[in-house]
Copies of this chain bind each other. A is one copy, B any other.
Amino acid sequence: GVDKKILVIPGDGIGQEVTTWGRKVLETIATNYKHNFTFEEGIMGHVAIDATGTPLPDETLDKARKSDAILFGAIGHAKYDNDPTLKVRPEQGLLKIRKELGLYANLRPIKLFDELLEASSIKPEILRGADILFFRELTGDVYFGEKKRTEDRNTASDLMIYHRYEVERIARKAFEAARTRRKKLCSVDKANVLEASRLWREVVQAMEKEYTDVTVEHMFIDNAAMQLVKDPKRFDVVVTGNLFGDILTDEASQIAGSMGMLASASVGDSVGFYEPIHGSAHDIAGKGIANPLASILSAALMLDISFGLKNESLRVIKAVETTLKQGFRTMDIANKHTENHLVMGTDAMGAKVLENLS
């Protein structure tokens, strides 16, 4: 067995409810496969602002640096969404930890479980067989460029900026991944309007020579947002910037049936960071109805990517699949038109997956 230190950061809203289940799955895997996983907890986001005045306390960041992998929940709170003038904001915690840990590559695999073919708003014949791996750049772009507000408060700006090395390192990861898959890479930008995108396109084009076995397509973001709904099967690996990646992967959640199903891995310099794609969902927080599967699948990604435990990872995915096959559903993936579905809350659903793991 392996020794690993895992930091758990539930964060805000439904993060608190679902992350428990990602953790429990890791605990069960440790027991079943005789690994030694030790857990710590950290705070971040609105809960951290409430407790300490800052969205990412030094203590959490220290713990993060010392861990082998981090399981994160979600961030954000209605209070801040409703008041854009607040200076200290939960999301700053997430952006800071991404930057501090050098987590420049955000992997978002989009794959539909057969059992959920009917749960999407998109037609089953369009979805069947879709399998996309997104590489979203995570520590650059307009997210981290300089932000300004004039003194009269009447003008606001954010700098969309990319450096060559930033594009190169994320593109390299995407090219390498494409090699192990269907050998197709789609790079998404807005090079017909944006200078940052023209740099992006130049860099990816220059790398094509190194990867002649990979077929590369360049697509404008507006077209990509359309093609993703029209014909998701045309995509294999997609690489794009921070902002466009944020938008496209949320949109792509409909390909996987629901946002509640999607896990992500952020990697870079060393430690790996695993989180559902969904947010804190304050509209349903505290109700015990959130889907725990994205957190559980984030744990599966951790086992695979950070720990190299491929079998254990597949075991978790299998348990999720079995649970869906048995007809168990949380609200977000229940299909009104299908019989034989047992709709349940977060804890009941999580417990079913644990059962299927044993």
How often does this chain occur in the complex, in copies? Answer: 2
Instruction: Choose the segment among A189-197, A264-272, A294-302, A310-318 that binds chain B (4+ C-beta atoms closer than 8 Å).
Output: A189-197
A218 at the interface (CB under 8 A from B): yes
Q: A254 contacts the other chain (Cβ, under 8 Å)?
A: yes
Q: Mark A49-75, 1 if CB is under 8 A from B, else 0.
A: 000000000000000000000000000
Contacts of A247 in B (CB 8 A): 221-222, 225, 247
Highest count of chain B CB atoms <10 Å: which of A145, A192, A202, A253 = A192
Q: Is A155 positioned at the interface, with any CB of B under 8 Å from its CB?
A: yes
On chain B, the residues within 8 Å of A158 by CB distance are: 159-160, 194-196
A-B contact pairs, 6 of them (CB 8 A): A121-B229, A143-B193, A157-B195, A222-B246, A222-B250, A230-B254
Whether B156 and A196, one on each chain, are in contact in the complex, defined by CB atoms closer than 8 angstroms, is yes
B85/A202 in contact, CB under 8 A: yes
**Complex contacts, A80 vs chain B, CB 8 Å:** 192
Closest B-chain residue to A189, C-beta based? B84
A248 to B221, CA, bound (A): 10
Measured CA separation A313–B62 after assembly (Å): 65
Interface string of A70-94 (1 = CB under 8 A from B): 0000001000111011000101000
A164 touches B154 (CB 8 A): yes
Question: Given the complex of chains A and B, what is the CA–CA distance between A228 and B226 in angstroms?
Answer: 11
A251: chain B residues within 8 A (beta carbon): 222, 225-226, 228-229, 251
Q: Cβ of B156 and Cβ of A157 under 8 Å apart?
A: no
Q: Is the interface of A mostly helix, strand, loop or mixed?
A: helix
In the bound complex, do residue B199 and residue A149 qualify as a contact, i.e. CB atoms below 8 Å apart? yes
Given contacts A91-B192, A122-B123, contact A159 B160 (CB under 8 A): yes
Give the shortest distance, in Å, between A232 (CB) and chain B (any CB).
Answer: 8
Cβ A259 vs Cβ B226 within 8 A: yes
A residues near B, CB below 8 A?
76, 80-82, 84-85, 89, 91, 95, 121-123, 126, 142-143, 145, 147-149, 153-165, 190-199, 201-202, 205, 218, 221-223, 225-226, 228-231, 243, 246-251, 253-254, 259, 279
Residues B149 and A157 in contact, CB atoms below 8 Å apart: no
A123 partner, pick from B85, B121, B160, beta carbons under 8 A: B121
Tell me the minimal C-beta distance from A109 to chain B in angstroms: 17
| Complex CA–CA separation, A235 to B161 (angstroms) | 32
Partner pick for A159 among B126, B157, B192, B222, CB 8 A cutoff: B157
* A155 and B159 contacting across the interface, CB-CB below 8 Å: no
Q: In the complex the two chains form, is B198's CB within 8 Å of A226's CB?
A: no
**In the complex, chain B residues whose CB is within 8 Å of the CB of A122:** 121-123, 229
Chain B residue numbers with a CB within 8 Å of A243 are: 190
Which residues of B sit under 8 angstroms from A147, Cβ to Cβ? 194-195
How distant is the Cα of A339 from the Cα of B5 in the complex, in angstroms? Answer: 61
Question: What is the bound-complex CA distance between A157 and B82, given in angstroms?
Answer: 30
A222 contact set on B, CB distance < 8 A: 246-247, 249-251
Contacts A149-B195, A156-B198, A229-B251 known; list 15 others, CB within 8 Å. Answer: A121-B122, A121-B231, A153-B164, A153-B199, A154-B199, A157-B160, A157-B162, A158-B160, A222-B250, A223-B279, A225-B247, A225-B251, A226-B250, A229-B254, A230-B254
Task: Output the nearest chain B residue to A149 by Cβ-Cβ distance.
Answer: B195
